[in-house]
Amino acid sequence: MRVVLDSNALMAPVEVGVRTFEELDRLLGEYGAVVPEAVLAELDRLSTGGGEAAKAASVGADLARRECDPVGHDAGYADDAMVEVGERAGTDYAVTSDMPLRGRLLEANVPVICLRGRTKFEITQP
């Protein structure tokens, strides 16, 4: 089983106190985590600023590099890359709290894992 993660899922430990990978373990058991290269670039760009968002992006980038395999794609924008990678054979779920992206993924027949309440993930089927 393969799961693709968006930047907000990787920033969630700092932004909302969710332990992303512990929640995925609880929800899915065994899985392989991947992150599109555009998401890594987005996290790197966000981490150069100041404040809480930069800290969250820095933590997210570190998590992505430790816990996920980077994947290439043709998209130039992180959301487009999430959809492209989500549609590939072998990708079972996408993790994001971005509502417009969530809608695009569901329209593309990709189940989405997102926050339910404050600290728990749930699966939304297309």
- Say whether pLDDT at 47 is over 80: yes
pTM: 0.94
pLDDT at 57: 95
Q: What angle do the packed helices 78-87 and 99-107 form, to 10 degrees?
A: 30
pLDDT at 19: 92
Amino acid letter, 116: R
- Say whether pLDDT at 118 is over 80: no
Domains of the chain: residue spans and CATH? 2-124 (3.40.50.1010)
Structure tokens at 55: 């800290």
Structure tokens at 87: 């549609």
Helix (H) or strand (E) holding 70: strand 69-71
